A and B are shown apart, each in its own frame.
Chain A
């Protein structure tokens, strides 16, 4: 158990809809990262927050947004969903704002299916 909690574990929705994925980082970790895992694209970095502020952005679509709240939990909002958004979305956390040797603690993921 990594200590990172993600909800929901599974989500099925229709094209055009909007969903929110939630992540609680490990106790004490201030950085939260979102990754997308799909069969064709592999694991792709989406976005990082540190203590409520956006720190880095990756291949995140404009239809997607995220935020980190004062209690450090984070939410990833996906809107105007398309079939291609079907994927596993992982949240990860670390205690560091930037400097990191690559050690992240991943949750078990939220599997999104868009029909």
Chain B
């Protein structure tokens, strides 16, 4: 019940294309869903986060879509750029459990020029 399942494991997209990463969860106690971006040799960094009472959140080229009934959420990267090449992790957290993030397995994104 504590798992967050993420797909695909890896993704290759052409420059200018749309990258889509999907996640699913079981535990309805989760109340925030952040996405982290990790470049090689660096630690994960928060990209964008969403609450389950919001169906969509957009920040620049990054959009999270949330389907509460299906217990699924996804990250869309519009106009993908080579600089977006990184590993992306979805995560879930219960607010009063602080920073105990439950991470998905990660998606390695490669954007080709």
Contact = CB atoms under 8 A, between A and B. Distances in A.
B98 A56 contact: yes
Interface in A34-73: 35, 42-45, 48, 55-56, 58
Interface residues of A, number: 29
B32 interface: yes
Nearest to A91: B43
A98 B97 contact: yes
B96 A101 contact: no
A96 B93 CA distance: 14
A45 B100 contact: yes
Given A102-B46, A102-B91, 10 more contacts: A42-B104, A45-B102, A48-B98, A48-B99, A48-B100, A101-B51, A102-B32, A102-B93, A102-B99, A108-B42
29 contacts: A2-B45, A4-B43, A31-B98, A35-B101, A42-B105, A43-B89, A43-B106, A44-B103, A94-B99, A96-B98, A96-B99, A98-B96, A98-B97, A99-B96, A99-B98, A101-B32, A101-B51, A102-B33, A102-B34, A102-B91, A102-B101, A103-B46, A103-B49, A104-B46, A104-B99, A104-B101, A106-B43, A106-B45, A108-B42
